[in-house]
Amino acid sequence: MSWTILQGIPIHYAYLDHQSPRTFVFINSLGTDFRIWDAVVDKLKDYGNILRFDKPGHGLSGLPSTPFQIKDYAEITLELMDYLHIERAVIVGLSIGGIIGQHLGVNHPERIEKLILSNTAPKIGSTETWNSRIEKVRNEGIESIADMVMKVWFSEQFHRERQAELLGYRNMLANSPLEGYLMACAAIRDNDLSAAITQIQLPCLCFGGTADGSTPPALVESMANSIPNAQFVLISDVGHIPCVEAPQQIVHEILDFVVYSDTKSLYQKGMITRRAVLGNAHVDRAEANKTEFDRTFQEYITNNAWGAIWSRPGLTKRERSILTIAVLATLGQEEELAMHLRATANTGTSLEDIKETLLHIAIYAGVPVSNTAFRVAKKVFETA
């Protein structure tokens, strides 16, 4: 445990400093303390120094004497970085932490190497929803909303299979300092960075969770679309706090974005994307079947289809998946079509998306084309 006093507020932080040239700074969500990053830090620590801290009014940090807005949380984050001589960092912000990250991206890009925004948006909720939460919590305590919040934080699968952790995180929320919690609710209520984030030029990675009831994937994706250099990654079957629910996947995406993207060849990037979309089993099989005869062709596909095109941030994996399915169906490429239909398990493309795509091409490519594609799809999903 480490402490410092900034603006008269005791700040609780943990700084793992092994003199790496790269530092990651994690900024928390509402009603959590920095332990939510434990599993991520465990896997990420070999790749950079790691700073975590409790926002003022959260965890073991003190409460400000006057209300904090988003810009104040952002300022104190920079003050802590100054105190620890961190000039520039990869900022990883979750929810309100992601709003603070967006504020820093707009106003202090020189302090940021890359920006990672998890389960957040430039505006979360409405004045009415935050006012009613503030009133309920003020009158009845945080305990009164704890079950509702757990539904937002974690997927149904987490509720079913990880009950001890669920109760633990419920305790973390219920034991949050009341005034600090209310202050952060008001700061979220009063914030809107929708116009400002279009100015962010930093490389930016945005995560959404398919089971997130607070910042649903479409909201996060629309934030990513507003930030010129942002890419959106959808994480399946996780709620609002993927660093707890799927730390392995979060670390994988962070490493791809921060560490490998700079140094990897087109072929290496292509392999990562190919494995992410088609699955390891498929790629391992294709690699094992490769001979001298088709080696050059296989490399051509990995470099160009997966490295140069599928790895681009301009369209989401779901959008590329839908496009690919439409084109392959139209070309009557049944084998490739079946492969890309199976890959929808990894691209966030739903059965409903596929149904609509195959209906849509009936108009442009003809009913027989759709008919065949529906037959192929039924076979793929019946045997899945």
Ligand X SMILES: O=C(O)CC1=CCC(=O)O1
Using CB under 6 A, list all residues that contact ligand X.
29-31, 95-96, 124, 149, 152, 188, 214, 240
CA distance 2 to 6: 13
Which CB, 31 or 203, lies closer to ligand X? 31
Q: How far is the CB of 185 from ligand X (least distance, A)?
A: 8
User: How many residues are recorded in the chain?
Assistant: 384
CA–CA separation, 82 and 65 (whole Å): 22
Nearer to ligand X, 124 or 361 (CB): 124
In the block, which residue shows the tokens 């006093």?
5
Beta strand 112-118 with 204-209 is parallel
Q: Would you say 30 or 272 has its CB closer to ligand X?
A: 30
Residue nearest to ligand X (CB): 95
* Least Cβ distance, residue 255 to ligand X (angstroms): 25
CB of 376 to ligand X, least distance (A): 41
Which residue is associated with the tokens 């299979």? 161
**Tokens at residue 366, please?**
């003809």
Is the CB of 124 or the CB of 234 nearer to ligand X? 124
CB of 173 to ligand X, least distance (A): 8
Question: Nearest distance from residue 30's CB to ligand X, in Å?
Answer: 3
Q: How far is the CB of 188 from ligand X (least distance, A)?
A: 5
Extended beta strands in 260-320, E state: none
Give CA angle at 213 (125, 154), nearest 5°: 130
Question: Which residues are paired to 27 by β-bridges?
Answer: 93
Task: Give whichever of 153 and 310 is closer to ligand X, judged by the CB atom.
Answer: 153
Q: Of 187 and 278, which has the nearer Cβ to ligand X? A: 187
Cβ at position 342, least distance to ligand X in Å: 34
What is d(CA 147, CA 140) in angstroms, rounded to the nearest whole number? 14
Placement of tokens 């498929």 in the chain: 282
Element (H, E) at 58: none
Distance CA 284, CA 250 (A): 23
- Distance (Å, rounded) from C-alpha 127 to C-alpha 186? 9
Is 33 or 256 the residue whose CB approaches ligand X more closely? 33
Tokens standing for residue 206: 């945005």
